[in-house]
Amino acid sequence: PERAVAAMARQAPANLEELNAVIASTPPFVAGGTCAVLGEGPLNPRLALVGEQPGDQEDEAGRPFVGPAGQLLMKALGEAGLTREAVYLTNAVKHFKFVQRGKRRLHQKPTAGEVKHYRWWLEKELDFVRPRLVVALGGTAALALTGKALAVTRERGPHRLGAHDGYVTFHPSYLLRLPDEAARREAYAALVADLATAKALAA
Ligand code: URA
């Protein structure tokens, strides 16, 4: 892994396109992942949203946030006065990590070590994209950006995230997993409020 990181650093991509070519042609650091799901969105956006990793549908489509979590995120973005096109969307880990169970591909949480292997790409990517504010969706994104674990429920809000002004909020998948309807509504309202605050902070 250290050698892989050094090899990537030597490739020294000069822009986002070159970086994406490197990412797309490097085999996954996690088990699974048929293709790298690259970030998408405008350069110099107000906000860059960083998720955990592509899911089953993102892996199929080769695009971030198009599955159930993505649809919930788009709804929340809309309620916060934002659009998919206005923000840059990417993930801490660029491949879908899964185990096959019959026909189903079950999402596996990336380990801290795996997240670390992808950090160099994420940092480079954000250097090229130059958002005003980086929004970490969930703990994995925060870990990728800071190198430290963070309890999202207790530490939501503005944070310095590595080299970036940032904001930490829930991951939409976390909302989908909450068993209780009232808790889900509350967490969704918090996500919308956080996105609106992040938008204002980046204005
Ligand atoms: N969850 C993520 O973190 N990213 C995606 O792209 C989709 C779901």
How confident is the model over 30-54, as pLDDT tens digits? 988 889 999 999 999 999 999 999 9
Is the pTM of the predicted complex or chain greater than 0.80? yes
pLDDT at 1 over 60: no
ipTM > 0.85, yes or no: yes
Give the Å distances, CA to CA, from 124 to 35, 153, 168. 19, 28, 20
C-alpha radius of gyration, the chain, whole number:
16
Q: List the Cα angle 16/38/72 in 5-degree steps.
A: 130
Q: List the Cα angle 56/4/60 in 5-degree steps.
A: 15
How confident is the model over 115-167, as pLDDT tens digits? 999 999 999 999 999 999 999 999 999 999 999 999 999 999 999 999 999 99
Closest to 197 in 3D by CA, of 159, 146, 141, 150: 159
- Evaluate: CB of 87 within 6 angstroms of ligand 1: no
Closest to 64 in 3D by CA, of 30, 27, 93, 32: 93
pLDDT at 199 over 70: yes
How confident is the model over 110-119, as pLDDT tens digits? 999 999 999 9
- Evaluate: CB of 58 within 6 angstroms of ligand 1: yes
Which residue out of 30, 53, 137 has the highest number of ligand 1 atoms within 8 Å of its CB and is therefore the one to mutate? 53
Cβ pair 149, 113 in contact under 8 A: no
Fold observed for domain 2-201: Uracil-DNA Glycosylase, subunit E (3.40.470)
Order of strands, sheet of 88-91, starting from the edge strand that comes earlier in the sequence? 88-91, 47-51, 133-137, 164-169, 157-161
Mean pLDDT, rounded, of the chain: 94
Give the Å distances, CA to CA, from 180 to 17, 51, 183, 184, 195. 43, 23, 5, 6, 23
Torsion of CA 159, 165, 171, 175, to 10 degrees: 60
Q: According to the model, what pLDDT value does residue 34 have?
A: 85
CA of 93 to the centre of ligand 1 (A): 9
